[in-house]
Structure 1
């Protein structure tokens, strides 16, 4: 019996989903590390916000994190390119909360 999860079709589908999720997260300034640190429920919410069915495996999220790292490196090398601009960076706070600073 064929294992769909590891078929060529499943791999292509996983890559397409990962690209959609990475594009959504990158535009909001979310890094791969931040994405992987998110609780599963938060990642599912992010996927739905990206109009994508949430991945059923951690493997897909790992691919998304890798794509985010690649895009960050590319953007650092090409800072003036229009595709290096994050169009929705102000939305990052909706997904990744900044650390709380203690009172001094």
Structure 2
């Protein structure tokens, strides 16, 4: 509810928006984690790459950085869980070979 009659309601931070953001973040995090992209690497990607990454995950690109922050947090949580449960089938990353499409390894000089 607005603080004053002149202030518009903040729909971007309503409970419905927060729930929608979490659903989208989970979908993005699942796609990104399967490709071996870490939260730190995600935070370093330019906006254009983030938009392409979201589209590849069959998700509309988030309109704010808040969703990407939630995604990064989910990636950290999943990494920690996978480290504690290395033999669990859900701890394997089925699409590691696709990481190079998003995160370019440094070129080593000759």
1:76 corresponds, among 83, 94, 97, to: 83
Does residue 1:11 correspond to 2:33, yes or no? no
TM-score (norm 1): 0.97
User: What are the ranges of 5 or more consecutive residues in structure 2 without an aligned counterpart?
Assistant: 1-7
Q: Secondary structure at the match of 2:12?
A: helix
Deviation at 1:61, TM superposition (A): 0.5
* Structure 1 residues not aligned, in runs of 5+: none
Structure 1 stretches of at least 4 aligned residues deviating more than 4 Å after TM superposition = none
How far does residue 102 in structure 1 lie from its aligned partner after superposition? 1.4
Give the number of the structure whose alpha-carbon radius of gyration is greater.
2
So what's the TM-score if we normalise by structure 2? 0.92
More helix by share: 1
Given candidates 40, 44, 54, the residue that maps to 1:47 is 54
For this pair of structures, how many residues does the alignment match?
103
> Paired residue for 2:97?
90
Matches of 2:86 and 2:40 in 1, distance apart? 21
